[in-house]
Chains A and B, each alone.
Chain A
Amino acid sequence: MLRFVEGDRGAFEILFQRYRDPVYGYLARIVGRASAEDLLQVSFLSVVRSRGRFDRDARFKPWLYAIATNAARDHLRRGRVEQLSSPGASSGADEAVDPPNVDPGRERAIRRALMQLPENQRLAIVMHRFQDLSFAEIAEALDLSESAAKVRAHRGYEKLRELLRGLWEEE
């Protein structure tokens, strides 16, 4: 990132290739896949436009997730959340990328349960469980203390267990 801040265009390509998939996965779990593509682009556009705001002593990954989180929050604030489909329905975008060995019903149930969590718990869980961010990185991305990040994740996991109890008992 420091090379990019200094004007090395090629460094951006490296960052994009490295973080494109994880950030897309993060956004898809928060706003849905159809919107995630646009927000992925918006997030990297923000990296380009705001590279002067990057703290040289900070880590790039939490900064990028902070940007993606802000973009997703703005998207949700403006009421552009995708309607969670009924169990039988699936968007075209979902079908287009689902590998054949995946249980789309289970995936939808998890996403629906995640969407029922308070936003602060949902973000902490998605970053921690699905994006492999450490609690220190989550704290940096969400501008929290590390212990606050742990509390949010802990409460979120507990609540998620309640929400998904039926699904796991079936298995």
Chain B
Amino acid sequence: MTKECQRAMEGLGQPQDAETAAHLAGCESCRSAFSTFEALSRARPPHPSPGRSAVPESELAKVAGRPAAPWWREAALVIVFNAVILAAGLWKLGTNLDNAAPLPDIWTIGIVLAFLVFAGPIIALAPRNRPLRKSLLFALPLVALAISFGGSGFDPGGGLIKAGIPCLSVEVLSSLAPIAFALWALTRTAFQPSRVVIGAMSAGAAGLLMLHVHCQIGTVAHLLGFHVLPWLAVIAAAIAIRSSLKSRSFAP
């Protein structure tokens, strides 16, 4: 579709000017679109049955005289909840830095995870901001790779699985409550997988941040298998759960 076609489309349904007519004379595809448009105009619009009420009185009664709460109030609640889980986890596991990776690496990944924990809910729940959601989706594999390959390489021994189970447990258990809360907030908008992915990324990032600070094992196999994959599994589970939940509202 050329720029001229796009310009002609603007005139669809309007009296044809000379420019549009000249374009149509030479463009089979636009002629086809225009003739279909004209032919469809004969179709009759359907009407609803009369007397159907708008919404239940109980819903409207809640509105009277009360200004609407802004959307960001729910995002703020989710952020506070994530922060509480993160603080509780760090208090329980200890705030000592056991990660032996170079400090710049620790800080870079730590800041990214903290950004996800605190900014993720806003990006997931904002009525607009689609480009930001897309950017964060594209960043997901990069973050996963950075965590997997950004470790110290330190292996204290003890077997991959045996040493990994505690980390997997921390990641999954610390994600449960934040994900449940994020899903509750997400049912107040229409189901959009991108929102769910970001909401779950954010909820799971609290556990990842705890492990990032506290876990001393730095091999790729451990970080990928017991930090990153559980995080990705939690995100996948969140999408499946949200898709089966009923939306309370279909607003974007």
Contact = CB atoms under 8 A, between A and B. Distances in A.
Contact of A129 (B41, B46, B70): B41
Interface of A: 4-7, 9, 12-13, 16, 20-22, 24-25, 28-29, 33, 36-37, 40-55, 63, 66-68, 70-71, 73-74, 77, 96-97, 99, 102, 106-107, 110, 125, 128-130, 135, 143, 147, 150-151, 153-155, 157-158, 160-161, 164, 168
Contacts, number: 174
Contact of B252 (A9, A63, A97, A161): A63
A10 B173 CA distance: 47
Given A44-B54, A70-B250, 4 more contacts: A37-B49, A40-B48, A97-B46, A161-B33
A43 B68 CA distance: 17
A13 B33 contact: no
B64 A7 contact: yes
B162 interface: no
A46 B40 contact: no
Contacts of A125: 40
Interface residues of B, number: 56
Instruction: Give chain A's interface secondary structure class.
Output: helix
Interface of B: 1, 5-6, 9-10, 12, 29-30, 32-37, 39-49, 52-56, 59-60, 63-71, 73, 127-128, 130, 188-191, 243, 247-252
A48 B49 contact: no
A110 B36 CA distance: 11
Contact of A130 (B36, B43, B60, B69): B43
A107 B250 contact: no
B46 A164 contact: no
20 contacts: A7-B65, A7-B67, A36-B48, A46-B250, A48-B59, A50-B251, A52-B71, A53-B127, A54-B251, A67-B252, A70-B250, A96-B49, A99-B44, A110-B40, A129-B37, A135-B9, A154-B9, A158-B32, A160-B36, A160-B40
Instruction: Give chain B's interface secondary structure class.
Output: loop
A48 B43 contact: no
A149 B151 CA distance: 46
A45 B55 contact: yes
A119 B67 CA distance: 36
A108 B67 CA distance: 44
B63 A24 contact: no
A132 B69 CA distance: 32
Contacts of B128: 55
Contacts of B30: 154
A52 B47 contact: no
